[in-house]
Amino acid sequence: MSTFTETLTWLVDVPSVTGREARICTEVATRLYPSAGRDAVVRLGDSLIVGRRTDRPLVLLAGHLDTVPSQGQKAAFVAGDRLHGLGAADMKAGLAVMIHLLEDPGVHDGGFDVIGIFYAGEEGPSAGNELGEVLAKATWMSQAAFAVVLEPSDGELQFGCNGIINATVSFEGKSAHSARPWLGANAVTKAGSGWPGFIECSRERSTSTE
């Protein structure tokens, strides 16, 4: 049985940038076959549902397989009491917890059906997030008594989703002779003076609680 650090090191060292989750999906499935059983590991795209449904209360554990693009990180390494590497916190540490829980005989034999959802595409555009597809195809998940998304928060409440605005802004100008620039309108100048105001307006809208 792997230690938690070994499991997390393995997960971090399997590249899984958004859109390229096929390999880690296969490796997680292969790891969980012995404890869950092949028929209890269901693959949907590059996402997995792991566990058996019985008549016990249902608890869902969820975590995304993908990471943001690499910024030059090297292989996973431990410094002090922390493991470092791409996706270590967001959110392969959570995946490691899920794997160890799903492999634990005490969890299997406990009072709950504990089902793991390992899904792809969280870090990219919403259209590529496979969690919606998983939930749509496994409608029985709506019967869950409790669900936990294991993205680490250090035990703190995190209010990070304040909204976003995607906008295309155009600044129109009017050509003029370089000897008489006052007869025209410089689009670059307009952009320089108008863009900061737009950014501030967008920031106010995205953080509004109304």
Question: Sign of torsion, CA 24 30 36 38?
Answer: positive
Domains of the chain in sequence order: 4-149 (3.40.630.10), 159-210 (no CATH)
- DSSP annotation string for 43-65: EETTEEEES---SSPEEEEEEE-
**pTM, two decimal places:** 0.76
CB atoms inside a 10 Å sphere around CB 161: 7
In this predicted structure, what is the pLDDT of residue 102?
98
Q: Determine what percent of the chain is predicted with pLDDT higher than 70.
A: 88
- Catalytic residue numbers, as ranges: 66, 122
Three-state DSSP state, 117: strand
Please say if the pLDDT value at position 153 is more than 50: yes
CB atoms inside a 10 Å sphere around CB 78: 12
The model's pLDDT over 18-64, given as tens digits with 9 standing for 90+, comes to 999 999 999 999 999 999 999 999 999 999 999 999 999 999 999 99
Summarize the confidence of residues 188-210 as an average pLDDT: 55
Q: Which pLDDT band holds residue 170 (cuts at 50, 70, 90)?
A: confident
